[in-house]
Structure 1
Amino acid sequence: MVITDLLGVAKMAAITLDGRGRIRHWDDTAAELFGVGPPRALGRPPAELLRLPREHRGAFEPEAFGHVWCGACTLPRVDDGERAEVGWWVYPIGGTPGEHGISVLALAADLRRLRRDGIGITIGDLLLAPPGRPAGAGAAARRPAGARLLRVEPALTAPRADLPGQGADPFAGRLAGLLPALDPAAAEKIASRVLGLGCPAVSLGLTIRLPIVPHTAENPAAPRAGGAVPPPRSARPRAAPRDVPASWEPLTYLGEAGEQIGSSLDHLQAARTLAEVLVPRLADFAAVELLERVVADSAPPAAEIDETTPMRRVAVAHTDDPGRWDEAVPEGEALLLPPRTPCVQAMRTGRPVHVRRVGPAQAARFAAAFGDRDLSPLFIGRALLIVPLIARGRVLGTFELLRKPDRPGFGDLDLAMVDELARRAALCIDNGRLYRREVQVAEELQRSMLPGDPPDVAGARVRYRYRPAEQAAQVGGDWFDAIPLPGCRLGLVVGDVMGHGLTSAAIMGQLRTAVRTLATEDMRPDRLLRQLDGLARRLGEDYLATCLYAVYDPVERRCTFANAGHVPPVLVSADGASRVLPVPPGVPIGVGGEPFQTMEIVVEDGAQLVLCTDGLLERRDRDIEQGLAELRGRLAGASADLDGTCDDLLDTLAAGTPADDIAIVAVGFDGIPKDEVVTWELEPEPASVPWIRAQVAARLAGWSLHDLTDTAQLLVSELVTNALVHGAGSLGVRLIKGRTLLCEVHDDGADLPQLRHAEATDESGRGLQLVSHLAARWGTHRTDTGKIVWVEQRLPC
């Protein structure tokens, strides 16, 4: 049954978003429902403020979704983490009505409250109103005993113009009461838009106790002796088709119940649905209790069950008056069940425990499992059935069923149906738990493979941003990195593995590790991509990825690029002009057969470079070329605040729940001041050693680094001496004051020095041991003409 026009009937929260998807209006009902007030909510995207499921975030994006969405989800409150069951009606408004610029209107309601208290309306002779709510004199007398809402689901429906108060004008008035003050034209536009898309409504599943009325052809509504009358037509059970035998009813029920239980990938929602479908068809009271580790989906279910196993009650359903058992057996309560209770027995044996009628002594023992609360009235005289939930050979929990004394006990057919539902529900709960676990593992895997904080290097500033795709289980293969290289240079890489899922994430991790390893060999960008391409083709056919690799030299103020089918970067000059760099396109990594090319440009101090993946540029309404044009436009005149630049790009170019991963690397080119770099060319003769020692001391004195002089002189002496003994051709020294004091010695020799252990009788081999002991770091790398040996010393604080 669908109840139309929920506005004015149920308590609803109203939230409005501006054209950027940020919250503009957040009322008191929203603050009560989500546990966060307007000061913290305003100006933030809903997906950032609330832990919305990823599959629903797109509905709150003004540009990404574009049509009305209604549905339900369970999410934690911001203040205390308590899970709230929320119904949503989200409308794309579009345009800029009034001065408020409302692009999205989201209405929300507490479904758990609606299910518990009713919604204060009358269906025929049935009043659905919370206890104590003023509904007119005699309302309580008209309320049928046993009336209870089981299911409340968000829905959309057209306004009922045939009923008083259901036209467009009253609706617009009630809607305007939820929104901030708007001019009449804006309010009318929003109301018209909502009416055109569908009014907020709920689909109800309810139970009522029907009187027994004899049917006569002459007068089917004739009252019986005693005043009983037929139930209102809207509350009568739907008759089965004439050609369906009555014996099929249990199969129909099992099919429909199983479909409802399996309709969600949320394991807790599956447990709640199980309780709802059991009542009242099979029981008058149902409670589902799961192992705590199943609820948290943090580990597989326990192999052994005893009284020390923590559990949690996740669902309760009953046919008693609303709120009758809320305090006695609340949902969400943590439990430690005493030994030898029927619940522990059912879980340990794997077989149901059936008590045909619970006597007073048994009721007292059962109630003792719940502490000091007197739950004997819940058990006395009722039929009790406790069924374990077992999936894949592991116990997940139990559910308990009770029937009132005036109802027959559980028969063989009932036991068979309960057993079948238990198997289906256990599998759905375990599948939901495994799905959640898979999502968590995939996200943790991807997160562990992405870099941490950007490196602090001389002459450049680096900032990252990463936003995963909207599909929770579809982790992607986007990666990015900034790699400190010898000579104060910086390696920059951004790439995108083709496809999604764990395989892509694993490939991404391997390629990122390979790039870092190859980068330390100080290869030219084109040669690095060639090596990476060969590695990918040796690993397998699925290793396909686009990649852009760049090296920035803050001393020479040059940036070298090589590309493997990736989107080009955008360079912003110091005066704010932006342009898309015409880097060679190249073919993706793993294709092979084509060479990679290198492009080198001069970059001025104060320039910025932005690299990204195609998830930032490509959307449903925009191709990559259009995205690049918009990116260049957004970067024109960008400030030196790289964090602000990255955030602005995500806010303006990316959907809040993108269809593809988004990675952004922003680099500010500051360069190393020329007076902090000095170079000497030496004659390859022994007299050069004392001369360079004196030159280094003089330069360090000019930099006020007197404390480093003795160690620096010793280190440069060892490196120059080794170059004279083992090197050949030209000889040079470069000293750079950056984040550290860097000393480089280059020569034309091909052999790289190796650190080795010198015995007591050896006449050589101790020089590099001394270097390794005195330097903070040291290393070697080849050049086009020879090699460089370098050492670093930490600068004094």
Structure 2
Amino acid sequence: VLNNGATVLENEFDDQILEEAGLDAVQRSQVEEIGIQSYLVVPLRVSDRIIGTLSVGGAIGARPYGQDDLDLAERIADRAGVAIHNAIQFTQRTKIAKVLQRSLLPAGFPNIAGCQMAGTYRSAGEGLDVGGDFYDVFQIDSSRFGIAIGDVSGKGHEAAAITALTRHTIRAAAVTISNPHEVLLAANEVLLGQATESRFCTAAFGIATVRKPGHLSLRFANAGHLPPLVARLDGTIEPIESSGVLLGMFPDASFEDVSVEMKPGEVFLLYTDGLTDVMINGEFLGDDWLRAELASVRERSVGEIVRTIEERVTRSGSVLVDDVAVLAVKTVGGSA
């Protein structure tokens, strides 16, 4: 049936058929135990391809199969073939989307003395489309590293292409450009050169310098992204405001560098708007919730901080209306 697509209807089941079926000892024993007398086999088709077969066996003493049974099996097989094909396509597409999504995020974090780092990503969809949220941390030289987060509008392969382009442009520019706002200008110029209608990107980028263990000097610029938060030692949550427009929209864009000093035990948190747009009981979590949550967990390890925030947005009853990316850097060691 697999080879030629011809249906089979037989009301005699003998040892010769068992031999030709190529069953192993266990399978043959099971068939003999059931006591099959009649059987039918029909192909599972998708368009003009055969992707499998549907086999039905009738026990000894049961009514023999006839043409009506064969017609019914063929109708079931037609529907089953399409359903199985769709399930296979769904699984393959989901796997591809997950692999592509992972490629847009760092495989790991650089080992920076006096710093802990953690990040997470959650998709709001069913896993079929790649989201446009990303974060990144990368070493620039022995004492400096780059920190980036961004959110490309939309989903799918076009959004993924813009995400990859933005992330890698920032990485490449940061090697030779020492000012964050100029790195964003370079990314803006590259995105403007792409023929991508209605595609834009918010982003935030900073260059952190380790002055001594646990002490960071961070220069930071923002391209229309949500302001990062710094959890200070006294529990104060400080938003880091910096002016700047969306990437890929305006040829005369401008961005502003701001400076942030961090002492041991302080936390720098970047996130995309999907985090505060999570809905619980019909209401957005909002900025106030995030600031209160960060203040309450700031003394924990950076991994626990990110995990706690992630658990909050994925617990029962919460609804993700947009993808969520979170990146945290905590200074450790040394003295304040």
Q: TM-score, normalised by structure 1?
A: 0.38
CA distance in 1, matches of 2:141, 2:62: 85
Does 2:269 match 1:613?
no
Deviation at 1:501, TM superposition (A): 2.6
Task: Flag the 1:362–1:629 CA change in 2: closer, same or farther, 3 A.
Answer: same
Deviation per residue, 1:630-675 (Å, 9 max, x gap): 21112225115111211222223555663332221111235989xx
CA distance in 2, matches of 1:610, 1:359: 70
CA distance in 1, matches of 2:216, 2:64: 88
Deviation at 1:438, TM superposition (A): 0.2
Aligned partners of 1:554 and 1:672 also within 8 Å: no
CA distance in 2, matches of 1:666, 1:518: 22
CA distance in 2, matches of 1:485, 1:430: 47
Aligned partners of 2:185 and 2:253 also within 8 Å: no
Does 2:235 match 1:576?
yes
Question: Which of 320, 323, 326 is residue 658 of structure 1 equivalent to?
Answer: 320
CA distance in 2, matches of 1:361, 1:459: 75
Counterpart in the other structure of 2:66: 410
Counterpart in the other structure of 1:358: 12
Question: Which of 45, 66, 81 is residue 390 of structure 1 equivalent to?
Answer: 45
CA distance in 2, matches of 1:602, 1:361: 83
- Give the residue type in structure 2 aligned to 1:375: V
Task: Flag the 1:601–1:376 CA change in 2: closer, same or farther, 3 A.
Answer: closer
The gaps in structure 1 that reach 5 residues or longer are: 1-345, 674-797
Task: Flag the 1:482–1:362 CA change in 2: closer, same or farther, 3 A.
Answer: same
Does 2:158 match 1:506?
no
Question: Which of 643, 648, 670 is residue 308 of structure 2 equivalent to?
Answer: 648
CA distance in 2, matches of 1:629, 1:368: 67
Aligned partners of 1:367 and 1:374 also within 8 Å: no
CA distance in 2, matches of 1:406, 1:622: 60
Paired residue secondary structure (1:590) = coil
Counterpart in the other structure of 2:329: 667
CA distance in 2, matches of 1:420, 1:615: 45
Identity %, equivalent residues:
27
Deviation at 1:435, TM superposition (A): 0.8
Aligned partners of 2:124 and 2:324 also within 8 Å: yes
Counterpart in the other structure of 1:448: 103
Aligned partners of 2:100 and 2:130 also within 8 Å: no
Aligned partners of 2:13 and 2:38 also within 8 Å: no
- Give the residue type in structure 2 aligned to 1:649: I
Counterpart in the other structure of 1:12: none
Does 2:140 match 1:485?
yes
- The 5-angstrom pairing of residues 107-146 of structure 1 reads none
Task: Flag the 1:518–1:612 CA change in 2: closer, same or farther, 3 A.
Answer: same
Paired residue secondary structure (1:539) = coil
Task: Flag the 1:463–1:378 CA change in 2: closer, same or farther, 3 A.
Answer: closer
- Give the residue type in structure 2 aligned to 1:587: V
Deviation per residue, 1:493-547 (Å, 9 max, x gap): 0111111233323332222122111111234111111111121121222441111
Deviation per residue, 1:576-608 (Å, 9 max, x gap): 322222222x22211114322222233334322
Question: Which of 79, 82, 95 is residue 427 of structure 1 equivalent to?
Answer: 82
- The 5-angstrom pairing of residues 623-634 of structure 1 reads 623=284, 627-634=286-293
Deviation at 1:485, TM superposition (A): 1.8
CA distance in 2, matches of 1:383, 1:467: 52
Aligned partners of 1:391 and 1:430 also within 8 Å: yes
Counterpart in the other structure of 2:94: 439
- The 5-angstrom pairing of residues 71-150 of structure 1 reads none
Counterpart in the other structure of 1:265: none
Counterpart in the other structure of 1:773: none
Counterpart in the other structure of 1:473: 128
Deviation per residue, 1:75-96 (Å, 9 max, x gap): xxxxxxxxxxxxxxxxxxxxxx
CA distance in 1, matches of 2:283, 2:210: 36
Greater relative contact order, per chain length (Cα 8 Å cut-off, separation 6+): 2
Paired residue secondary structure (1:419) = helix
CA distance in 2, matches of 1:513, 1:486: 17
- Give the residue type in structure 1 aligned to 2:208: Y
Paired residue secondary structure (2:3) = helix
Deviation at 1:480, TM superposition (A): 0.5
Task: Flag the 1:407–1:518 CA change in 2: closer, same or farther, 3 A.
Answer: same
Deviation per residue, 1:336-356 (Å, 9 max, x gap): xxxxxxxxxx1122211222x
Paired residue secondary structure (1:500) = coil
- Give the residue type in structure 2 aligned to 1:661: D
Does 2:23 match 1:369?
yes
Paired residue secondary structure (2:274) = helix
Paired residue secondary structure (2:235) = coil
- Give the residue type in structure 2 aligned to 1:615: G
Aligned partners of 1:363 and 1:379 also within 8 Å: no
Question: Which of 255, 258, 261 is residue 596 of structure 1 equivalent to?
Answer: 255
Q: CA RMSD in A?
A: 2.8
CA distance in 1, matches of 2:69, 2:154: 48
Does 2:185 match 1:530?
yes
Aligned partners of 1:363 and 1:376 also within 8 Å: no
Task: Flag the 1:492–1:377 CA change in 2: closer, same or farther, 3 A.
Answer: closer
The gaps in structure 2 that reach 5 residues or longer are: none
Deviation per residue, 1:57-85 (Å, 9 max, x gap): xxxxxxxxxxxxxxxxxxxxxxxxxxxxx
CA distance in 1, matches of 2:21, 2:33: 9
CA distance in 2, matches of 1:553, 1:368: 69
- Give the residue type in structure 2 aligned to 1:644: E
Task: Flag the 1:480–1:354 CA change in 2: closer, same or farther, 3 A.
Answer: same
Aligned partners of 1:497 and 1:544 also within 8 Å: yes
Paired residue secondary structure (2:153) = strand
Task: Flag the 1:375–1:523 CA change in 2: closer, same or farther, 3 A.
Answer: same
Aligned partners of 2:313 and 2:320 also within 8 Å: no
Task: Flag the 1:364–1:526 CA change in 2: closer, same or farther, 3 A.
Answer: closer
Deviation per residue, 1:94-147 (Å, 9 max, x gap): xxxxxxxxxxxxxxxxxxxxxxxxxxxxxxxxxxxxxxxxxxxxxxxxxxxxxx
CA distance in 1, matches of 2:14, 2:333: 85
Task: Flag the 1:374–1:422 CA change in 2: closer, same or farther, 3 A.
Answer: closer
Paired residue secondary structure (2:176) = coil
Counterpart in the other structure of 1:563: 222
CA distance in 1, matches of 2:65, 2:157: 50
CA distance in 2, matches of 1:639, 1:547: 27
CA distance in 1, matches of 2:333, 2:216: 6
Number of residue-to-residue matches in the alignment: 322
